[in-house]
Structure 1
Amino acid sequence: MNAAASMEYNAICAFLYREARHLDDREWEPWLALYAPDAEYWMPAWDDDDRLTDDPQSQISLIYYPNRNGLEDRVFRIKTERSSASMPEPRTNHMITNVEVLAEHSDTVDVRYNFHTLSHRYKLTDHFFGTVFVTLRKADGGFLIGRKKIVLKNDYIRQVIDVYHI
């Protein structure tokens, strides 16, 4: 890896770590600012044949927002305590590993990484883990998330899954 590629890889990792930190620290506005206005946020479900659904318009998804407006609405409900599923807000700890640049284009970078999130609420700690495929747009010397697809590997869960779990 040459020096320029190494610097960009480090910047990508720092960006992903910052997103995780904003979630852990419940810094909702800075977290939203990492997403482009037209960013798609999608967590497909597993179908009966143990395959991921592939069309959020016609198949079941665990979470699907076609743009940042959906994320903004979700954050509004969390912040104004209009989400009983989020009260009290859980304490989370996100861990990111195996960051891999899949493709680089003139204005975007496709990245894959694994995550493990611990979530504690009501004296119970849950584990969520999986793989994320994200398209980062190069913007103003940094990045914005243009598309995020989350593959939750432990999809049999005992509560509502939310953006802070992943």
Structure 2
Amino acid sequence: MSQENQANYGAICAFLYREARHLDDREWEPWLEMYAEDAEYWMPAWDDDDQLTDDPQSQISLIYYPNRNGLEDRVFRIKTERSSASMPEPRTNHMLTNVEVLAERDDGVDVRYNFHTLSHRYKVTDHFFGTVYATLRKVGGSFLIARKKIVLKNDYIRQVIDIYHI
């Protein structure tokens, strides 16, 4: 790997780790600022044949926001205690691994990485894990998330899944 590619890879990892930290620290506004205005945020569901749904417009999704407005609304509900599913807010710990650059263009980069999130609430700790496919848009010397597809591998869950779980 060339020095330039190593620097890009390090910047990509640092960006992804910062997003996870913002979620863990409940820093909602800085977390939202990491997303482009037109960012698609999607967690498809698994169908009965153990295949992922592939159309958020016509099939079931666990979470789907076609742009950042949906994320902003979700954060508003969390912050103003208008989300009973988020009260009290769980304590989370996000771990990211296997960060892989799939494609790089002048204006962006496609990445794939695995996640494992621990979530603690009501004296119970839940585990969420899976794979994320993200498109990062190059902006200045950093990135914005332009698309995020979350494949939750343990989708038989006993509670509402939310943005801070993944």
TM range (shorter): over 0.9
Render the CA deviation track for 1:77-121: whole Å, top value 9, x for unaligned: 000000000000000000000000000011010000000000000
Runs of at least 5 residues in structure 1 that lack an aligned partner in the other structure: none
| In structure 2, distance between residues paired with 1:140 and 1:128 | 33
Aligned-pair identity (%): 86
| In structure 1, distance between residues paired with 2:9 and 2:69 | 29
| In structure 1, distance between residues paired with 2:158 and 2:102 | 33
Which residue of the partner structure matches residue 138 of structure 2? 138
Which residue of the partner structure matches residue 57 of structure 2? 57
2:9 is the counterpart of 1:5: no
Which residue of the partner structure matches residue 159 of structure 2? 159
Residue 9 of structure 1: CA displacement? 0.1
Residue 47 of structure 1: CA displacement? 0.1
Which residue of the partner structure matches residue 150 of structure 2? 150
Which residue of the partner structure matches residue 102 of structure 1? 102
Residue 140 of structure 1: CA displacement? 1.4
The two structures have a TM-score, normalised by structure 1, of 1.00
SS of 1:39's equivalent?
strand
Which residue of the partner structure matches residue 127 of structure 2? 127
Point out 4+ residue stretches in structure 1 off by more than 6 angstroms: none
Query: How many equivalent pairs are there?
Result: 166
| In structure 1, distance between residues paired with 2:160 and 2:105 | 36
Render the CA deviation track for 1:41-64: whole Å, top value 9, x for unaligned: 000000000000000000000000
The two structures have a TM-score, normalised by structure 2, of 1.00
Read off the aligned partner of 1:108 and give its amino acid letter: G
